[in-house]
Amino acid sequence: MSSASPRSAYSSFSPGRIWTMATHTVTQLIRMRILVFMGIISIVIVIAAFAFPAVSPEQQLKLLKDWTFGALQVFFVIIAIAATGLLIPRDLEDRTLYTTLSKPVPRYEYLIGKLLGVMLLLGGGLLLMDLVFSLMLYVKQSLIISSQIAALEKEQAATPENIAFIKDLNSRFGLTYSLHGAVWAIFLKASVVAAVSLLISCFASSTLFTILVGMAFVIAGQGQALLREWFLDKMSGFWQKALSGAIAIFCPDLTLFDLAEPAIRGEVIPLGVLTEVSGIALLYIVGYTSVAYLFFVEKEL
Protein backbone atom coordinates (compact mmCIF):
# COMPACT_ATOMS: atom_id res chain seq x y z
CA MET A 1 0.00 0.00 0.00
CA SER A 2 1.34 3.42 -0.92
CA SER A 3 0.37 6.76 0.52
CA ALA A 4 1.24 10.23 -0.75
CA SER A 5 3.57 12.21 1.49
CA PRO A 6 2.38 15.68 2.62
CA ARG A 7 4.93 17.32 0.29
CA SER A 8 3.81 15.32 -2.77
CA ALA A 9 0.17 16.16 -2.01
CA TYR A 10 0.98 19.89 -1.95
CA SER A 11 0.00 21.74 -5.09
CA SER A 12 2.07 24.73 -6.19
CA PHE A 13 -1.09 26.38 -7.56
CA SER A 14 -4.42 25.99 -5.81
CA PRO A 15 -7.59 27.77 -6.99
CA GLY A 16 -9.12 26.80 -3.63
CA ARG A 17 -6.46 28.71 -1.68
CA ILE A 18 -6.85 31.72 -3.98
CA TRP A 19 -10.62 31.67 -3.55
CA THR A 20 -10.25 31.47 0.24
CA MET A 21 -7.89 34.45 0.10
CA ALA A 22 -10.31 36.37 -2.13
CA THR A 23 -13.37 35.79 0.08
CA HIS A 24 -11.34 36.77 3.15
CA THR A 25 -10.33 39.97 1.33
CA VAL A 26 -13.98 40.78 0.55
CA THR A 27 -14.87 40.32 4.24
CA GLN A 28 -11.87 42.46 5.21
CA LEU A 29 -12.93 45.29 2.86
CA ILE A 30 -16.54 45.21 4.02
CA ARG A 31 -15.33 45.61 7.59
CA MET A 32 -13.38 48.67 6.42
CA ARG A 33 -16.74 50.33 5.61
CA ILE A 34 -16.21 50.30 1.85
CA LEU A 35 -19.98 49.79 1.49
CA VAL A 36 -20.50 53.37 2.69
CA PHE A 37 -19.27 54.53 -0.75
CA MET A 38 -21.91 52.39 -2.47
CA GLY A 39 -24.61 53.77 -0.20
CA ILE A 40 -23.62 57.29 -1.26
CA ILE A 41 -23.86 56.29 -4.95
CA SER A 42 -27.35 54.85 -4.40
CA ILE A 43 -28.45 58.15 -2.85
CA VAL A 44 -27.01 60.04 -5.84
CA ILE A 45 -28.99 57.81 -8.24
CA VAL A 46 -32.25 58.30 -6.34
CA ILE A 47 -31.74 62.09 -6.19
CA ALA A 48 -30.96 62.20 -9.92
CA ALA A 49 -34.07 60.17 -10.73
CA PHE A 50 -36.38 62.84 -9.37
CA ALA A 51 -34.35 65.99 -10.09
CA PHE A 52 -34.72 68.32 -13.06
CA PRO A 53 -38.50 67.89 -13.50
CA ALA A 54 -38.70 71.12 -15.56
CA VAL A 55 -36.64 69.90 -18.54
CA SER A 56 -37.90 67.78 -21.43
CA PRO A 57 -38.52 64.02 -20.90
CA GLU A 58 -35.51 63.03 -23.02
CA GLN A 59 -33.28 65.41 -21.05
CA GLN A 60 -34.60 64.04 -17.74
CA LEU A 61 -33.56 60.51 -18.75
CA LYS A 62 -30.21 61.74 -20.09
CA LEU A 63 -29.45 63.70 -16.92
CA LEU A 64 -30.28 60.67 -14.79
CA LYS A 65 -27.82 58.60 -16.83
CA ASP A 66 -25.19 61.37 -16.76
CA TRP A 67 -25.36 61.64 -12.98
CA THR A 68 -25.30 57.91 -12.45
CA PHE A 69 -22.42 57.06 -14.77
CA GLY A 70 -20.41 60.03 -13.52
CA ALA A 71 -20.86 58.86 -9.93
CA LEU A 72 -20.09 55.21 -10.78
CA GLN A 73 -16.89 56.08 -12.66
CA VAL A 74 -15.52 58.37 -9.96
CA PHE A 75 -16.52 56.34 -6.91
CA PHE A 76 -15.46 52.92 -8.21
CA VAL A 77 -12.06 54.16 -9.40
CA ILE A 78 -11.54 55.69 -5.93
CA ILE A 79 -12.69 52.43 -4.29
CA ALA A 80 -10.30 50.43 -6.50
CA ILE A 81 -7.31 52.60 -5.54
CA ALA A 82 -8.13 52.99 -1.85
CA ALA A 83 -9.19 49.38 -1.22
CA THR A 84 -6.17 47.89 -2.98
CA GLY A 85 -3.75 50.36 -1.45
CA LEU A 86 -4.94 49.53 2.07
CA LEU A 87 -4.71 45.74 1.81
CA ILE A 88 -1.01 44.94 2.20
CA PRO A 89 -0.32 47.67 4.83
CA ARG A 90 -3.33 46.49 6.85
CA ASP A 91 -2.16 42.85 6.66
CA LEU A 92 1.29 43.95 7.81
CA GLU A 93 -0.20 45.96 10.65
CA ASP A 94 -2.43 43.08 11.76
CA ARG A 95 0.41 40.58 11.15
CA THR A 96 -1.98 38.39 9.16
CA LEU A 97 0.49 38.65 6.24
CA TYR A 98 3.15 36.78 8.26
CA THR A 99 0.60 34.19 9.38
CA THR A 100 -0.57 33.63 5.81
CA LEU A 101 2.86 33.39 4.23
CA SER A 102 4.16 31.12 7.00
CA LYS A 103 1.74 28.53 5.66
CA PRO A 104 2.33 26.80 2.30
CA VAL A 105 0.86 29.75 0.40
CA PRO A 106 3.04 31.08 -2.44
CA ARG A 107 3.31 34.84 -2.69
CA TYR A 108 1.72 34.89 -6.14
CA GLU A 109 -1.38 33.17 -4.72
CA TYR A 110 -1.52 35.82 -2.02
CA LEU A 111 -1.42 38.62 -4.61
CA ILE A 112 -3.91 36.96 -6.96
CA GLY A 113 -6.27 36.28 -4.05
CA LYS A 114 -6.08 39.88 -2.88
CA LEU A 115 -6.72 41.29 -6.36
CA LEU A 116 -9.53 38.81 -6.99
CA GLY A 117 -11.11 39.86 -3.69
CA VAL A 118 -11.06 43.51 -4.72
CA MET A 119 -12.51 42.60 -8.13
CA LEU A 120 -15.28 40.57 -6.47
CA LEU A 121 -16.17 43.55 -4.33
CA LEU A 122 -16.10 45.89 -7.33
CA GLY A 123 -18.16 43.47 -9.44
CA GLY A 124 -20.71 42.82 -6.69
CA GLY A 125 -21.00 46.52 -5.94
CA LEU A 126 -21.45 47.47 -9.58
CA LEU A 127 -24.02 44.70 -10.08
CA LEU A 128 -25.98 46.08 -7.13
CA MET A 129 -25.65 49.63 -8.45
CA ASP A 130 -26.73 48.46 -11.92
CA LEU A 131 -29.87 46.94 -10.42
CA VAL A 132 -30.69 50.12 -8.48
CA PHE A 133 -29.98 52.29 -11.54
CA SER A 134 -32.05 50.07 -13.88
CA LEU A 135 -34.97 50.10 -11.45
CA MET A 136 -34.89 53.88 -11.03
CA LEU A 137 -34.50 54.44 -14.79
CA TYR A 138 -37.39 52.10 -15.55
CA VAL A 139 -39.60 53.85 -12.97
CA LYS A 140 -38.65 57.28 -14.36
CA GLN A 141 -39.24 56.12 -17.93
CA SER A 142 -42.65 54.64 -17.02
CA LEU A 143 -43.70 57.83 -15.22
CA ILE A 144 -42.72 59.97 -18.22
CA ILE A 145 -44.59 57.73 -20.67
CA SER A 146 -47.69 57.74 -18.45
CA SER A 147 -47.65 61.53 -18.13
CA GLN A 148 -47.20 62.01 -21.90
CA ILE A 149 -50.06 59.60 -22.69
CA ALA A 150 -52.24 61.43 -20.17
CA ALA A 151 -51.39 64.71 -21.90
CA LEU A 152 -52.33 63.22 -25.27
CA GLU A 153 -55.65 61.96 -23.87
CA LYS A 154 -56.35 65.42 -22.49
CA GLU A 155 -55.75 66.87 -25.96
CA GLN A 156 -57.79 64.02 -27.51
CA ALA A 157 -54.74 63.00 -29.56
CA ALA A 158 -54.04 59.60 -27.97
CA THR A 159 -54.00 57.66 -31.22
CA PRO A 160 -52.15 54.30 -31.35
CA GLU A 161 -49.53 55.89 -33.62
CA ASN A 162 -48.81 58.74 -31.16
CA ILE A 163 -48.67 56.37 -28.20
CA ALA A 164 -46.31 54.01 -30.06
CA PHE A 165 -44.08 56.98 -31.01
CA ILE A 166 -43.85 58.12 -27.37
CA LYS A 167 -43.00 54.60 -26.18
CA ASP A 168 -40.33 54.11 -28.86
CA LEU A 169 -38.74 57.51 -28.20
CA ASN A 170 -38.53 57.03 -24.44
CA SER A 171 -37.33 53.42 -24.80
CA ARG A 172 -34.43 54.62 -26.95
CA PHE A 173 -33.40 57.18 -24.32
CA GLY A 174 -34.33 54.92 -21.39
CA LEU A 175 -33.27 51.47 -20.23
CA THR A 176 -31.24 49.63 -22.90
CA TYR A 177 -28.81 46.74 -23.12
CA SER A 178 -25.95 49.14 -23.87
CA LEU A 179 -26.25 50.70 -20.41
CA HIS A 180 -25.34 47.35 -18.84
CA GLY A 181 -22.41 47.13 -21.26
CA ALA A 182 -21.23 50.55 -20.10
CA VAL A 183 -21.43 49.38 -16.45
CA TRP A 184 -19.33 46.33 -17.42
CA ALA A 185 -16.75 48.71 -18.97
CA ILE A 186 -16.60 50.65 -15.68
CA PHE A 187 -15.90 47.34 -13.89
CA LEU A 188 -13.05 46.63 -16.34
CA LYS A 189 -11.57 50.10 -15.83
CA ALA A 190 -11.78 49.81 -12.03
CA SER A 191 -10.18 46.33 -12.18
CA VAL A 192 -7.25 47.63 -14.25
CA VAL A 193 -6.82 50.51 -11.78
CA ALA A 194 -6.87 47.98 -8.91
CA ALA A 195 -4.11 45.96 -10.63
CA VAL A 196 -2.01 49.12 -11.04
CA SER A 197 -2.57 50.00 -7.37
CA LEU A 198 -1.57 46.48 -6.32
CA LEU A 199 1.66 46.86 -8.29
CA ILE A 200 2.41 50.22 -6.66
CA SER A 201 1.62 48.93 -3.16
CA CYS A 202 4.23 46.17 -3.59
CA PHE A 203 7.06 48.72 -3.50
CA ALA A 204 5.37 51.73 -1.90
CA SER A 205 6.53 52.98 1.47
CA SER A 206 3.05 54.10 2.59
CA THR A 207 -0.64 53.83 1.74
CA LEU A 208 -0.75 57.56 0.94
CA PHE A 209 2.01 57.09 -1.65
CA THR A 210 0.03 54.26 -3.28
CA ILE A 211 -3.15 56.33 -3.43
CA LEU A 212 -1.41 59.45 -4.83
CA VAL A 213 0.58 57.56 -7.47
CA GLY A 214 -2.51 55.51 -8.34
CA MET A 215 -4.49 58.70 -8.90
CA ALA A 216 -1.62 60.04 -11.06
CA PHE A 217 -1.84 56.90 -13.23
CA VAL A 218 -5.60 57.37 -13.58
CA ILE A 219 -5.16 60.99 -14.71
CA ALA A 220 -2.39 60.00 -17.13
CA GLY A 221 -4.48 57.07 -18.38
CA GLN A 222 -7.35 59.44 -19.17
CA GLY A 223 -4.93 61.65 -21.11
CA GLN A 224 -3.19 59.04 -23.26
CA ALA A 225 -3.80 61.06 -26.43
CA LEU A 226 -2.12 64.12 -24.89
CA LEU A 227 0.80 61.98 -23.66
CA ARG A 228 1.39 60.58 -27.13
CA GLU A 229 1.10 64.02 -28.68
CA TRP A 230 3.59 65.41 -26.15
CA PHE A 231 6.21 62.66 -26.48
CA LEU A 232 5.78 61.66 -30.12
CA ASP A 233 5.24 65.05 -31.73
CA LYS A 234 8.43 64.98 -33.79
CA MET A 235 8.68 61.23 -34.33
CA SER A 236 7.35 58.98 -37.05
CA GLY A 237 7.53 55.41 -38.30
CA PHE A 238 9.03 52.64 -36.16
CA TRP A 239 10.09 54.75 -33.17
CA GLN A 240 6.68 56.40 -32.94
CA LYS A 241 4.96 53.00 -32.86
CA ALA A 242 7.48 51.55 -30.40
CA LEU A 243 7.24 54.47 -27.97
CA SER A 244 3.49 54.62 -28.37
CA GLY A 245 3.29 50.95 -27.37
CA ALA A 246 5.66 51.53 -24.44
CA ILE A 247 3.50 54.39 -23.15
CA ALA A 248 0.37 52.24 -23.50
CA ILE A 249 2.03 49.40 -21.54
CA PHE A 250 3.52 51.61 -18.82
CA CYS A 251 0.35 53.61 -18.34
CA PRO A 252 -3.01 51.93 -19.06
CA ASP A 253 -5.13 53.67 -21.69
CA LEU A 254 -8.26 54.09 -19.58
CA THR A 255 -10.13 55.93 -22.33
CA LEU A 256 -10.65 52.54 -24.01
CA PHE A 257 -13.19 51.76 -21.29
CA ASP A 258 -15.18 54.98 -21.65
CA LEU A 259 -18.32 53.51 -23.21
CA ALA A 260 -20.83 55.41 -21.08
CA GLU A 261 -21.20 58.38 -23.43
CA PRO A 262 -22.49 56.43 -26.48
CA ALA A 263 -24.78 54.40 -24.20
CA ILE A 264 -26.20 57.62 -22.72
CA ARG A 265 -26.90 58.91 -26.23
CA GLY A 266 -28.95 55.78 -26.92
CA GLU A 267 -26.37 54.19 -29.23
CA VAL A 268 -25.88 50.42 -29.35
CA ILE A 269 -22.55 49.12 -28.03
CA PRO A 270 -21.63 46.13 -30.23
CA LEU A 271 -20.78 42.87 -28.47
CA GLY A 272 -17.48 42.82 -30.37
CA VAL A 273 -16.42 46.09 -28.73
CA LEU A 274 -17.20 44.72 -25.26
CA THR A 275 -15.23 41.55 -26.05
CA GLU A 276 -12.27 43.60 -27.29
CA VAL A 277 -12.09 45.86 -24.23
CA SER A 278 -12.52 42.81 -21.97
CA GLY A 279 -9.48 41.20 -23.60
CA ILE A 280 -7.44 44.40 -23.27
CA ALA A 281 -8.39 44.68 -19.59
CA LEU A 282 -7.36 41.04 -19.02
CA LEU A 283 -3.96 41.69 -20.62
CA TYR A 284 -3.42 44.75 -18.43
CA ILE A 285 -4.46 42.90 -15.27
CA VAL A 286 -2.25 39.85 -15.96
CA GLY A 287 0.69 42.07 -16.94
CA TYR A 288 0.55 44.38 -13.92
CA THR A 289 -0.03 41.47 -11.51
CA SER A 290 2.98 39.63 -12.94
CA VAL A 291 5.21 42.69 -12.43
CA ALA A 292 3.72 43.14 -8.93
CA TYR A 293 4.82 39.60 -8.11
CA LEU A 294 8.39 40.36 -9.18
CA PHE A 295 8.47 43.22 -6.64
CA PHE A 296 6.59 41.32 -3.93
CA VAL A 297 8.74 38.17 -4.11
CA GLU A 298 11.83 40.28 -3.34
CA LYS A 299 10.10 42.27 -0.61
CA GLU A 300 11.60 41.78 2.85
CA LEU A 301 8.88 41.03 5.39
* pTM of this structure: 0.84
CB atoms within 10 A of CB 87: 25
Given a cut of 80, whether residue 7 has pLDDT beyond it is no
Residue 264's pLDDT is: 84
* Whole-number average pLDDT of the chain: 82
- Predicted pLDDT of residue 2: 45
- Yes or no: say if 77 and 189 are a contact pair by the CB < 8 Å rule: yes
Lowest mean pLDDT among 26-40, 176-190, 215-229: 26-40
Which of 51-60, 145-154, 182-191 has the highest average model confidence (pLDDT)? 182-191
Q: What mean pLDDT comes out for the span 48-74? A: 76
pLDDT score, position 4: 47
Alpha helices in the chain (DSSP H): 6-9, 15-31, 35-49, 57-94, 96-102, 107-154, 160-173, 177-201, 207-222, 224-231, 238-250, 260-264, 271-297
Question: How does residue 87 score in pLDDT terms, banded at 50, 70 and 90?
Answer: confident
Say if residue 301's pLDDT is above 90: no
For the chain, give the percent of residues with pLDDT over 70.
Answer: 86
Half-sphere exposure of 189 (CA within 13 A, CB side): 29
Would you say residue 273 has pLDDT above 80? yes
Among residues 299, 199, 215, 202, which one has the least CA distance to residue 249?
Answer: 199
* Structure letter (DSSP) for residue 204: -
Specify the pLDDT at position 188: 95
Which pLDDT belongs to residue 116?
94
CB 195 within 8 A of CB 264: no
Q: Identify whether the C-beta of residue 199 lies closer than 8 Å to the C-beta of residue 210.
A: no
Q: Among 31, 77, 82, 74, which residue's Cα sits nearest to residue 207?
A: 82
* Residue 196: C-alpha distances to residues 84, 202, 252 (Å): 9, 10, 9
